[in-house]
Amino acid sequence: MRQHSTLSTMTEFELIHRFFSGLDFGPSTRLGIGDDAAILDIPPAHSLVVSVDSANEHTHFSELTLPEVVAYRSIASAISDLAAMGATPIGMTLALSLSEQDPLWLRSFSEGVTKAVYAFGCPLVGGDTTKGPLSISVTVMGTVPQGFGLKRSGATVGDLICVSSSLGDAAAGLQLELGTLFAEEHPSCSDYLLDRWSYPQPRLALGSDLLNSATACIDISDGFLADLGHLLQQSGVGAQINEAAIPISAELISVVGRAQALQLALSGGEDYELCFTLPSSVAVPEGCSVVGQIVATMGIRGLTNTPVRTGFQHF
Amino acid sequence: MRQHSTLSTMTEFELIHRFFSGLDFGPSTRLGIGDDAAILDIPPAHSLVVSVDSANEHTHFSELTLPEVVAYRSIASAISDLAAMGATPIGMTLALSLSEQDPLWLRSFSEGVTKAVYAFGCPLVGGDTTKGPLSISVTVMGTVPQGFGLKRSGATVGDLICVSSSLGDAAAGLQLELGTLFAEEHPSCSDYLLDRWSYPQPRLALGSDLLNSATACIDISDGFLADLGHLLQQSGVGAQINEAAIPISAELISVVGRAQALQLALSGGEDYELCFTLPSSVAVPEGCSVVGQIVATMGIRGLTNTPVRTGFQHF
């Protein structure tokens, strides 16, 4: 990793060192931050799983988003890709672009990093801090037993389509965060929805449990229908959806009503839950819902209305 | 990795797919781009080596830099960290932030990526494209035999201090690129220096050869003195430098004269050569120069002038 040697950048490094020096590296880390690269051990008979996710100000969060939440969400969204592969995290790198030094911003940001490191058991093993518009890019690494790993392909006719937990909460949370939705009459619901957006909980344990049973898996970041569409496309199959079985939280219905809640659940995005397919003989994991079944005919059937895209546009 | 599902982002993905679909994945890649994450195999009895490097427009390159060069340099600078560890590349992820879709820009950029993938034998196994100010963040992964890996610590008194190839060329190349240096009378020298900046050649083979012999190693990205300083600090030793032995190319001397050439060689930065220490009993690898010796007293001695910092300021 690039080292910075001028007086002003020493201050930057001192700050980062101060905020991140307390973090544990974990048993896989043979050499952590502080050299040209980190060295990690991979358990015998395991493969490396790797994914990258970025978040940019004005696109993925606003200037009003707490730096702690910016950090936590950036890491959680990347970790969610590991969960969708059934992988166990071993480490991550973080590229942070900052337009100016702001110790308070950095402190809050580092608290989000720390929270995520411990929540997901994923040490920060490398970083690069550069000058530029605010942007965070996280590469996560994990492991799966050799020959394993949940893919988007593999869903077969008759499989059950399942999702973990309720959908749409995070999309509503984002609208609350951006101030485009108000929920004064429902303060506790509002807190719940904001929390679901701010602190997504990647389903690592579930992904790991599914390694031996699921035929296909994807994480829901762009909305249930869009991500199910990717899974169907790569598996070469279609889906019959039972709209009434889509899990929606009471909090979401309280704040936006049932019709809008369904729209958000179908296509709001930002959920970081898993969508997976199971042979019908397999027991559905606790907390998960069966929302449909795989059919031979391509496409998605069973929806009463064509859903409106409500997630953000990238370009 | 996040998937984008709107019509406009389909175009973005189609473009990227078109430009990158011809790339080989290499034997370590069990599952490449196209799922939530990639799956890579690590050779038995090897550890994973990982590093991240970012480049932002206006900080690390200008709006006049060829997109191909932006891509190649971004990847080469990250790969150089693998070289400095003695690691063999197995794959990389690339996070690209773009403010707008520009097919010609993307085509040139993808050509730089392709060139780098083949030059360094490092497949692109994951990516994320987001909307935002132009920025490239590359995480590289490689392997070393378990228990090996060149570190910055380990240099001991009496060790020879060596560098690979000539220094300062890339710093002059950057000045030519930015138009702050002119070399009309020396067109071939100018081409050489520009090339040294545009297409750095990370010393992967050398790093690998040094695994059994070097006591410490670092790549020179911030300038020889700054990076030697990191090595000395982490090894707890000092250096006696033989200024006359610093390797400087005839091309650099032709363009800027001997005095300025030495300044650039000592602290220009951007070189991506290796600085390493060897027990005096070990033969110096071909193409490398001995520029000093490790001494017990901290600090760097033997310079006739205090060098002026000429590299860019990050903050």
Write the CATH number for B291. 3.90.650.10
Structural domain containing residue A91: 7-145
- CA distance, residue B188 to nearest chain A CA (Å): 30
pLDDT band at B65 (very low <50, low <70, confident <90, very high): confident
Question: Do B141 and B165 sit in the same domain of this protein?
Answer: no
Q: Is A292 exposed, middle or buried (CB count within 10 Å of its CB: 0-12, 13-18, 19+)? A: buried
Question: Do A97 and A203 sit in the same domain of this protein?
Answer: no
Closest partner CB to B47 (pick from A8, A39, A141): A39
pLDDT of residue A315: 39
Residues B165-223 pLDDT 10s: 999 999 999 999 988 999 889 999 999 999 999 999 999 999 999 999 999 999 999 99
Q: Is residue B306 part of a domain?
A: no
Beta strands A124-131 and A160-164, pairing class? unpaired
Region of B26 on the Ramachandran plot (φ > 0 left; ψ -120 to 50 alpha; else beta): left
Number of domains present in the structure of chain B = 2
Mean per-residue pLDDT over chain A, rounded: 89
pLDDT of residue B17: 61
Name every chain A residue with its beta carbon within 8 A of the beta carbon of B34. 152, 234
Q: For B220-227, what is the mean pLDDT?
A: 95
pLDDT of residue B228: 97
Question: Do B13 and B101 sit in the same domain of this protein?
Answer: yes
pLDDT band at A99 (very low <50, low <70, confident <90, very high): confident
Last residue of a domain, one of B107, B122, B145: B145
Q: Is residue B279 part of a domain?
A: yes
pLDDT of residue B22: 61
pLDDT band at B98 (very low <50, low <70, confident <90, very high): confident
Nearest to A95 by CA among B130, B68, B15, B34: B130
Place of tokens 């006719």: A157
Name every chain A residue with its beta carbon within 8 A of the beta carbon of B37. 49-51, 81-82, 84-85, 87, 140, 142
Using the beta-carbon criterion (under 8 Å), do A126 and B139 form an inter-chain contact?
yes
CB contacts < 8 A (A, B): 279
Question: Do A60 and A136 sit in the same domain of this protein?
Answer: yes
First to last CA, chain B: 31
Using the beta-carbon criterion (under 8 Å), do B142 and A37 form an inter-chain contact?
yes
Q: Is residue B315 part of a domain?
A: no
Model confidence at A3: pLDDT above 50:
no
Question: Do A129 and A178 sit in the same domain of this protein?
Answer: no
Closest partner CB to B222 (pick from A4, A47, A85): A4
Retrieve residue B48's tokens: 């994973």
Q: What is the largest CA-CA distance in chain A?
A: 64
Q: Is residue A309 part of a domain?
A: no
Model confidence at A279: pLDDT above 70:
yes
pLDDT band at B7 (very low <50, low <70, confident <90, very high): very low
Nearest to B200 by CA among B165, B248, B230: B165
Mean per-residue pLDDT over chain B, rounded: 89
Percentage, residues of chain B above pLDDT 70: 90
Q: Searching chain B, which residue's CA lies closest to the CA of residue A6?
A: B313
Question: Do B167 and B266 sit in the same domain of this protein?
Answer: yes
Name every chain B residue with its beta carbon within 8 A of the beta carbon of A219. 36
Q: Residue B304 contacts by C-beta under 8 Å, 6 or more apart in sequence?
A: B243
pLDDT of residue A171: 96
Question: Do A139 and A165 sit in the same domain of this protein?
Answer: no
Q: Searching chain B, which residue's CA lies closest to the CA of residue A41?
A: B47
Question: Do B295 and B169 sit in the same domain of this protein?
Answer: yes
Q: For A36-49, what is the mean pLDDT?
A: 95
Last residue of a domain, one of B110, B145, B180: B145
How many angstroms from the chain centroid is the CA of residue B219? 7
Question: Do B138 and B195 sit in the same domain of this protein?
Answer: no
Distance (Å, whole) CA B146 – CA A202: 31
pLDDT band at B308 (very low <50, low <70, confident <90, very high): low
pLDDT of residue A20: 67
pLDDT of residue B60: 74
Return the top range by mean pLDDT from A180-194, B59-73, B141-155.
Answer: B141-155
Using the beta-carbon criterion (under 8 Å), do A36 and B152 form an inter-chain contact?
yes
Q: For A214-240, what is the mean pLDDT?
A: 97
Closest partner CB to B130 (pick from A31, A35, A314): A314
pLDDT of residue A58: 77
Name every chain B residue with its beta carbon within 8 A of the beta carbon of A30. 47, 149
- CA distance, residue B185 to nearest chain A CA (Å): 34
Question: Do B130 and B183 sit in the same domain of this protein?
Answer: no
User: Can you state the angle between helices A103-120 and A7-20, rounded to 10 degrees?
Assistant: 40
pLDDT of residue B232: 98
Model confidence at A310: pLDDT above 60:
no
Q: Is residue B151 part of a domain?
A: no
- CA distance, residue A186 to nearest chain B CA (Å): 32
Residues A172-214 pLDDT 10s: 999 999 889 998 899 999 999 999 999 999 999 999 999 999 9
Which of A184-193, B25-34, B83-92, B230-239 comes out lowest in average pLDDT? Answer: B25-34
Q: Is A312 or A278 the better-scoring residue by pLDDT?
A: A278
Last residue of a domain, one of B88, B122, B145: B145
Q: Is residue A109 part of a domain?
A: yes
Q: Is residue B311 part of a domain?
A: no
Model confidence at A25: pLDDT above 80:
no
Q: For A150-159, what is the mean pLDDT?
A: 97
What is the DSSP code string of A234-291? HHT-EEEE-GGGS---HHHHHHH-HHHHHHHHHH-----EEEEEE-TTSPPPTTEEEE
Closest partner CB to B56 (pick from A59, A125, A132): A132
Name every chain B residue with its beta carbon within 8 A of the beta carbon of A93. 50-52, 139
Q: For A40-44, what is the mean pLDDT?
A: 94
Distance (Å, whole) CA A238 – CA A293: 9
- CA distance, residue A158 to nearest chain B CA (Å): 22
pLDDT of residue A5: 35
Name every chain B residue with its beta carbon within 8 A of the beta carbon of A314. 4, 6, 8-9, 12, 129-131
pLDDT band at B148 (very low <50, low <70, confident <90, very high): very high
pLDDT of residue B310: 43
- The sheet with strand B288-295 has its strands ordered as B216-220, B273-278, B160-164, B288-295, B238-241, B299-301
pLDDT of residue A19: 66
Give the gyration radius of chain B's Cα atoms: 20
Question: Do B185 and B284 sit in the same domain of this protein?
Answer: yes
Write the CATH number for B86. 3.30.1330.10
Question: Do A219 and A273 sit in the same domain of this protein?
Answer: yes
Model confidence at A36: pLDDT above 60:
yes
pLDDT of residue A16: 62
Q: Is residue A82 part of a domain?
A: yes
pLDDT of residue A15: 61
Q: Specify whether the CB–CB gap between B5 and A229 falls below 8 A.
A: yes
